[in-house]
Amino acid sequence: MNSASKKISWKTAAGIVIANMIGTGVFTSLGFQLEAVQNTWTIVLLWTLGGIMALIGALVYAELGTHFRRTGGDYIFLSETIHPLVGYLYAWVSLVVGFSAPIAIAAMAMNNYLKPIFGETLLPGLIFLVLIPTVHIFSVSSSAKFQNGMTLLKIGFVLTLIALGIGFGSTSEFPATNFTSTWKDELFLPGFAVSLIYVFYAYTGWNSAAYIIEEVDQPKKNLPKALIGATLLVMVVYLSLQLVLLKHASVAQLAGQVQVADIAFGNLFGPNGAIWVSLFIGIQLIATISGYAWVGPRVTYAMAKDYHLWKPLAKVNANEIPVRAIILNTAISLILFVSGSFEQIMLYAGFILQLMSTVTVYSSLKIKKQEGFKTPFKPIPQLIYICFSMALMGYLLVDRPKESLAGLGILALGWAVYAMDKKIG
């Protein structure tokens, strides 16, 4: 994947990051957070902390990506710096959960938001889950064109929602905004840590461009620009959108609900306006499904080139696209789509992905001679990320043991598969 015609610009790389980040989480997780914490300062703190952690992660992945410069992301980073087993486990997790779960969740959310138009049916999400990955089986150029168009639509829609929400006064009799001092009492609740998992899940995707670095033009310069710039933009968007949603609906309306944007903008524009908002939220999820369907199979492909069990997935077409890996990733997404609940998939995916990203951040500390971008003030950002993440996962183990242990079970199964597999060569 080194031909100039197969390279993408930093703008397309940033678009992949934005599309993967702005998906279901920002439009759905507020309702789950409000079940545990209700103070607006707490909500702002949650999304700020999530943004800071995502930014640290983006800095670290820019360092790792420009050092190794090989497609495969964490699989390459962990295999080279820690042990091939750890890289294998990441590739296993990415196949079973990391990229398939966000696609399944996006398709589930699409059905929820298109319900006012199509009613109770799985078809909209099912159709897009199956069809969108086919866009990425032809060439990098066709993938880039489709992704750019869908990402521009997504950004335009979200910025329009924020502008409308800020510009219009609240029509809710009891808006959810609460700027009292009660936030101090909410910081040490187990629910605060669980809420952070939802936020961290919403920020998932800040590392996306690092997985396809061989497809990025001038990666030493463009990968850091794409990862860091996109993450900063998304952080501002997320904070703004949460404040808008709190402004236009009550806690009673939002708590425990998935379609929080539908509720808030339904209060603002009435039932007909809410239908249009739901329609466009569903449509913008196309870019999210597309981004994960493009990036995820590259990790499986990187592993398949190294191990006998997965070797059939290393086959590429004339344009060097790993078609078989794309098909497998789509099939697993489909299984999750028809078998899991929205909240459970989000939680067990969130826990295991947080664990693996923490190990990857740690791996950057093992690089002695950096050959590309270097994280500012290293190792302080890495240590902050690791400590914060460990505390968060500890809280989640206590508060949501079922989902957390399910995530660890996925790792254990991956370890067993590794023990039966053999490295090529």
Q: Tell me how long the chain is.
A: 425
CATH number at residue 246: 1.20.1740.10
Q: Given this model, what pLDDT does residue 177 score?
A: 95
Which residues lie below 8 Å from residue 305, measured CB to CB, with a gap of 6+?
A: 311, 314, 424
Give the number of other Cβ atoms within 10 Å of residue 204's Cβ: 28
Q: Given this model, what pLDDT does residue 414 score?
A: 95
More confident residue, 340 or 302: 302
Measured in Å, how far apart are the chain's first and last C-alpha atoms? 22
Dump pLDDT digits (tens) for 211-251.
999 999 999 999 999 999 999 999 999 999 999 999 999 99
Closest residue by Cα to residue 289 from 103, 18, 27: 103
Give the lowest-confidence range in 8-12, 22-26, 28-32, 154-158. Answer: 22-26
In a domain, 408, yes or no: yes
Q: Given this model, what pLDDT does residue 361 score?
A: 97
Q: Given this model, what pLDDT does residue 1 score?
A: 44
Give the lowest-confidence range in 38-42, 196-200, 250-254, 314-318. Answer: 196-200
In a domain, 234, yes or no: yes
What are the residue ranges of helices labelled H in 367-400? Answer: 380-399
In a domain, 26, yes or no: yes
What are the residue ranges of helices labelled H in 119-139? Answer: 123-131
3-class SS of residue 375: coil
Whether the per-residue pLDDT at 2 is higher than 70: the answer is: no
Most confident segment among 5-14, 41-50, 203-212, 257-266 = 41-50
- Eight-state DSSP code of residue 170: P
Q: Mean pLDDT in the chain?
A: 91
DSSP string computed for 265-289: HHHHHHHHHHHHHHHHHHHHHHHHH
CA–CA distance from 66 to each of 225, 306, 409 (Å)? 12, 21, 32
Q: Given this model, what pLDDT does residue 342 score?
A: 63
Amino acid identity at 246: L
**Domain total for the chain?**
1
Q: Given this model, what pLDDT does residue 310 score?
A: 97
Confidence of residue 314 (pLDDT cuts 50, 70, 90): very high
Q: Given this model, what pLDDT does residue 307 score?
A: 97
- Averaged pLDDT, 341-352: 71
CA dist 374 and 367 (Å) reads 10
Amino acid identity at 14: A
Dump pLDDT digits (tens) for 163-177.
999 999 988 889 999
> Which two three-digit tokens encode residue 328?
């497998």
> Which two three-digit tokens encode residue 389?
């993440």
In a domain, 74, yes or no: yes
Residue 27 contacts residue 265 (beta carbons within 8 Å): no
Residue given tokens 């981004």 in the structure block: 291
Q: Given this model, what pLDDT does residue 322 score?
A: 96
CA dist 178 and 168 (Å) reads 19
CA–CA distance from 84 to each of 4, 72, 136, 297, 419 (Å)? 31, 13, 28, 19, 12
Most confident segment among 23-27, 81-85, 368-372 = 81-85
- Averaged pLDDT, 110-121: 88
In a domain, 425, yes or no: no
Q: Domain of residue 124: give its range.
A: 4-420
In a domain, 354, yes or no: yes
CA 38 to chain centre: 25
Whether the per-residue pLDDT at 18 is higher than 90: the answer is: yes
Please tell me the pTM assigned to this model: 0.89
- Averaged pLDDT, 284-303: 95
CA dist 78 and 84 (Å) reads 7
- Averaged pLDDT, 110-126: 90
> Which two three-digit tokens encode residue 82?
């820690």
- Averaged pLDDT, 248-271: 91
